[in-house]
Chain A
C-alpha cells in the first residue's frame, strides 16, 4: 500500500479563509479553482498568465517534496528549509510558528519589513537574498549563508511566487466579495472575467514586483557617523519635536518608560488583521444570538439568519485556529541587536521609509517627489545616533553585524 501510494501525502495550498470569509462557500471553491489553474500546486507550480519575470527552473528546484537523486542537487528546498515556519502556503503558519516571537512572516500580503525600496513597493531580489543570508537578529529567522548560491536564488524566486500568489488570492477574494453579485459564478471560462482578473488584479501585482529595482531609495554619500557633532545632532533630533523618536522608542534614560510601556497596544498589520477578525467574529456572534432570541417561528435555510449562522460558524472555526494576535512594540534601542542589522545604508532607508506593515512611519518622502519630514543630512544624523545607542561600534554588536558587511 505504502509503496504504491508513495510515502508523502500530496501537499496542498491552504486557502486564505480570513480574506474570503464573506464570499459564499461556492465562490470560495471557485477562488481556489482559479488559483490552481493559474499558480498550480506546491508540488507542481505554474506561472500565471503574462510576463511574470519568474524563472520556472528556479521554482522547480524549490517546490515539491525533498528529493535528491544527484549528489549535491536537492529538490524541494522550500519544504526542507522554510515550510516548517512559513508554512507550505507561505502563510507564516507552519507547525512551529505558534512557538515563535515574532511569528514567521506571512508572505501573502506581499509586504516585507526589511528592504531597500519605497514603503509601498515589494523588496528586490537582493533584499530577500540579504535576509536569507543574514537571518533576522532577535527573531527565529536564521542565516542560510551556508546554502549554495543557486539554492538561495531558488528560494528567493519561490518566496516571490508565494507572495504573488497570496496577493492575488487576497485581491481576488476582495474582488469577488465586494464586486460580484451574491449568486454570481467566478470562472475563467468567462472571457470577460478572465481578462478582468488578469489585467486589473494580477498585472499590477506583477508589475510592482518587476519594477522593484527602480523603487530603491537612493542613499546619498555617508558622512563620518562616529563624529561627536553628528551624533549630538542626531540625539537632538531623536528627542526634539520634529522627529520625536522618543515618543515611541523612549527617552533612553535609566528608569524612563520603555517602548512597551509607551505603546502598550501596538500591533503590526499581520497581527492587527487577526485581532480585528477575532473581534469582528465575537461581535457577529453576539448580534446573531440577540437576533435569534427574537425569532419565534421556524427559519428555513434561505432565511438571512440561517445564512448568517453559517457565516458565524465558519468565522468561529477560523478564528479559533488563528495564531493568537501578538503585540509588536517599538524597538528598545539601547545595546540591542537590530532585526535587520545596523549597517548605515540599511538604517538610512529604515528611517527614510519606516517599516512596511509596522507602526514605524516614513520620515523621508513617502514617494518620489513627496514632502520629506527630515532631510537626508538629518536622517544620517539619526543613523549616527542610533548606531551609537545600539552600540554598533562595540564588540558585542560586531557579532550581530551583517556577515556580508
Chain B
C-alpha cells in the first residue's frame, strides 16, 4: 500500500512536469475598413417572423468596431492535454433556441459528450437542418413549444451550418470539438480560452464568411487557412490585443 502511494505520487509529479502548466489566450477582433451592411431579410408570411424584423447576422459588429461570432479553437490532430478542471465534458446541454425566427445563439459551441438540445420559443413551426459531416447530419421538426435532444459522436473539423427550411433566412452554426478549447467572440469582439496546455499550439480563426486568413496579430499572423501559431505560457496569458480583420474579408 505504502509503495503504491509512492508510485502514485511519482507518476503524478511526472505528469505535471511534462505538461508544465496552463495558460490563457485572449484577444479582440475589430473590423478595419468599412464593413458590409447587414441587409434586412425577407421574413415570409409568419406574423411572428414579420414582427421580429429579422436582419442578416452574417456580419455582426459592436459599437466599437468589435467583430462578433469569430470562432477560435485549438487546432490539433491529436487530443491535447486537458486541464484537470475540464477533464469531463460539462453535464449541462448546449441549448439552441429558435426565437424570433433566429437561432439563439447564432454560433453554439459543443464538446463531444455534451447533449445538444433544440428548443422552439416561437409560436410557429420550425425545423433544424444541420449539415454536419461524417454521418452526423440531422433534420428535425420543432413544433410550437417543442424540443429535441441530439447526441453527437464525431467532432467537426469546421463549424457546421444549421438552417430552417421553413424560414430560409434563418442561419446558425455549430462548432463541435473533442476538447474544451474553443471560444466565440462576443459583440465587443472579445474572446478568451482559459486553462490551455502550455506550449506552442496552432489555433484556427474562423468566421462564417470564411477562414480569417493572413491576419496580423502581435504574436504572428494567420496563414491562408486562418491558422496561427501561438506559444501559451505556463501560468500566464497571451493577449493578442486588437486583431484587425479587413472589411474586405467579410464581404
Contacts and interface: CB of A to CB of B under 8 A. Distances in A.
Task: Answer whether A and B are interacting partners.
Answer: yes
Interface string A349-377: 00000101001111100110011010000
A164 B62 CA distance: 46
Interface string B204-227: 000000100110000000011100
Interface string B108-136: 00000000000000000101110101111
B165 interface: yes
Contacts of B131: 269
Interface in A253-282: 263, 265-266, 269, 280
B251 A283 contact: yes
B231 to A, nearest CB: 17
Given A174-B157, A266-B165, A373-B146, A362 B140 contact: yes
B37 to A, nearest CB: 16
Interface string B160-189: 000001101000000000000000000000
B38 interface: no
Given A241-B125, A244-B143, A373-B141, A120 B136 contact: yes
Interface residues of A, number: 48
B148 A265 contact: no
Interface in A15-37: 22
Contacts of B214: 304
Given A248-B166, A366-B138, A371-B149, A242 B77 contact: no
Contact of B148 (A22, A308, A366): A366
Interface residues of B, number: 39
B248 A171 contact: no
A204 B168 contact: no
Given A178-B157, A266-B165, A120 B141 contact: no
Contacts of A307: 224
Interface of A: 22, 110-111, 119-121, 171, 174-175, 177-179, 182, 196, 204-205, 208, 241-244, 247-248, 263, 265-266, 269, 280, 283, 286-287, 290-291, 304, 307-308, 354, 356, 359-363, 366-367, 370-371, 373
Given A265-B168, A373-B146, 15 more contacts: A119-B137, A119-B138, A120-B137, A120-B138, A174-B158, A241-B125, A244-B125, A247-B125, A287-B248, A304-B214, A304-B224, A354-B141, A356-B137, A361-B140, A373-B142
